[in-house]
Homo-oligomer: A and B are copies of this chain.
Amino acid sequence: MQATEANCQSCTIGQSTLYSVTHADTPDTIAGLRRGTVTFRAHQVIQKAGDAPTTTYTLRSGWAYRAVQFRDGRRQILSFLIPGDMINVGSIWIDEYAIGFYVRALTDVRLCAFAPDDLRRVINASEAQQSCFADYIQRQFLLAERRLVDVGQRLATARIARLVLDLGATLRARGLSCGDSFEFPLRQEDIADALGLTTAHVNRTLLKLRQLGLLEIKLGRARILDRAKLQIMGAND
Tell me the A residues contacting B by CB distance below 8 Å.
68, 70-72, 74-76, 78, 90, 92-95, 97, 100-101, 124, 130-131, 134-135, 137-138, 140-142, 144-145, 147-149, 151-153, 195-196, 237
Contact = CB atoms under 8 A, between A and B. Distances in A.
B71 A130 contact: no
Nearest to A135: B94
The secondary structure that dominates the A interface is helix
Contacts of A149: 68, 76, 78
Contact of A144 (B93, B94, B145): B145
Contacts of A75: 153
B76 A148 contact: yes
Nearest to A79: B145
25 contacts: A71-B237, A72-B237, A74-B237, A75-B153, A76-B148, A90-B138, A93-B131, A93-B134, A94-B131, A94-B138, A100-B142, A101-B145, A124-B124, A137-B137, A140-B141, A141-B141, A141-B144, A144-B144, A147-B148, A148-B148, A151-B152, A151-B196, A152-B195, A152-B196, A153-B196
Nearest to A130: B93
A134 to B, nearest CB: 3
Given A94-B131, A140-B141, A144-B145, 11 more contacts: A76-B149, A76-B152, A93-B130, A93-B131, A94-B134, A94-B138, A97-B138, A141-B144, A144-B148, A148-B151, A152-B195
Contacts of A196: 151-153
A70 B153 contact: yes
Nearest to A140: B141
Contacts of A74: 153, 237
